[in-house]
């Protein structure tokens, strides 16, 4: 495993995504991910699978201190009272007494951002949450959180893969010492037709998925959270610590990254142009 060490956090650069896995399939998938060596699990209030994840963690015997647990507040839980209530619910369902990272899942203009971030910061001060952050925030909203509100946010979790450049969000995050967590890091199966990845993969003896994940985590301050219900894919996605892409290959994948966005904003806030 490789780690991102930033502002007191030590984040496993490769995590395990859990949407949309539920019930015994979720417990099985998380158990096998933990057995393979994943130590960073991504979930959310909206996924409805935190109890199953908590069960898999308890059964695994992996010590809590070895794990990085990220969960997210849904859009109906962003006022101060709901933030407090939802955090207690997340802790109970996951069976833990702290969260490593709590994110605002989607921006929502219906609740003042300052109110949500202040309530999250209070939970951090109380020791229930180690770090706070956001998800699906374009630069304009990252700027509002950091420069207007003065929030101390560690992470923005956004869609990021070799088909989507995210240049502006990443530049802003890096300039403000923030981590970017790449969701949909495998572009949900759309990488096989990528113009460069198959040939690069052949040169390293790696699959297109392994090249994509390596390209993500080899970037400064970038984590990736691929999801798979298959142990064989979980294992191959994990087998990316035994090679490094050359600077030329990193640059050529960057240069080819376009604007193929899979997830669309539903709250009316515009994405950054690429």
- Which residue, 32 or 218, has its beta carbon nearer to ligand NAP? 32
Neighbours of 150 (CB within 10 A): 10
Range 152-211, binding ligand NAP (CB under 6 A) = 157, 183-189, 209
Give the helix/strand (H/E) hosting 40.
strand 40-42
Closest to 119 (Cα-Cα) out of 156, 78, 153: 78
- In three-state secondary structure terms, 254 is helix
Query: 75-90: buried (b, 16+ CB within 10 Å) or exposed (e) per residue?
Result: bebbeeebbbebbeeb
100 touches ligand NAP by CB under 6 A: no
233 touches ligand NAP by CB under 6 A: yes
The binding track of 105-134 with respect to ligand NAP, each residue x by CB under 6 A or -, is x-----------------------------
Packing angle, helices 50-60 and 23-36, rounded to 10: 40
236 touches ligand NAP by CB under 6 A: yes
The span of 51-59, 146-154, 232-240, 242-250 binding ligand NAP (CB under 6 A) equals: 232-240
- In three-state secondary structure terms, 51 is helix
- Which residue, 116 or 236, has its beta carbon nearer to ligand NAP? 236
Alpha helices in the chain (DSSP H): 23-36, 50-60, 80-94, 113-125, 139-143, 167-175, 197-204, 208-217, 231-238, 247-256
Q: Site for ligand NAP (CB under 6 A): which residue of 3, 19, 98, 204? A: 19
Query: Cβ 135 to ligand NAP, closest distance in Å?
Result: 4
Q: Is 47 a catalytic residue?
A: yes
- Which residue, 17 or 221, has its beta carbon nearer to ligand NAP? 17
227 touches ligand NAP by CB under 6 A: yes
- In three-state secondary structure terms, 162 is coil
- Which residue, 35 or 126, has its beta carbon nearer to ligand NAP? 35
Range 32-61, binding ligand NAP (CB under 6 A) = 42
Specify the pairing of strand 9-12 against strand 99-104: unpaired
User: In whole angstroms, what is the distance from residue 251 CA to residue 208 CA?
Assistant: 16
Among candidate residues 47, 160, 172, 183, the one labeled active-site is: 47
Query: Cβ 247 to ligand NAP, closest distance in Å?
Result: 25
Q: How many residues bind ligand NAP (CB under 6 A)?
A: 26
Catalytic residues: 47
Chain contacts with ligand NAP (rule: CB under 6 A): 17-19, 42, 105, 135-136, 157, 183-189, 209, 225-230, 233, 236-237, 263
């Amino acid at each position: 495993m490789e780690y991102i060490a930033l502002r007191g956090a030590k984040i496993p650069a490769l995590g395990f995504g859990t949407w949309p896995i539920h019930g015994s399939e979720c417990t099985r998938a998380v158990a096998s991910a933990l057995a393979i060596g994943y130590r960073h699990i991504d979930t959310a209030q909206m996924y409805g699978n935190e109890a199953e994840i908590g069960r898999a963690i308890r059964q695994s015997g992996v010590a809590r201190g070895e794990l990085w647990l990220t969960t997210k507040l849904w859009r109906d839980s962003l006022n101060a009272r709901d933030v407090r209530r939802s955090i207690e619910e997340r802790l109970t369902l996951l069976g833990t007494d702290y969260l490593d990272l709590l994110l605002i899942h989607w921006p929502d203009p219906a609740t003042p951002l300052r109110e949500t971030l202040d309530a999250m910061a209070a939970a951090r001060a109380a020791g229930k949450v180690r770090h706070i952050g956001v998800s699906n925030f374009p630069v304009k909203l990252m700027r509002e959180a950091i420069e207007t509100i003065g929030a101390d946010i560690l992470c923005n979790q956004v869609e990021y893969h070799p088909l989507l450049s995210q240049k502006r969000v990443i530049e802003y995050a890096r300039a403000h010492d923030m981590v970017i967590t790449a969701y949909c890091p495998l572009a949900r199966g759309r990488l096989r037709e990528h113009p460069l990845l198959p040939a690069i993969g052949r040169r390293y003896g790696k699959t297109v998925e392994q090249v994509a994940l390596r390209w993500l985590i080899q970037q400064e301050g970038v984590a990736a959270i691929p999801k798979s219900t298959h142990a064989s894919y979980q294992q191959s996605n994990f087998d990316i610590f035994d090679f490094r892409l050359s600077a030329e290959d990193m640059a050529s994948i960057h240069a080819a990254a376009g604007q193929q966005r899979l997830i669309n904003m539903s709250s009316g806030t515009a994405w950054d142009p690429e």
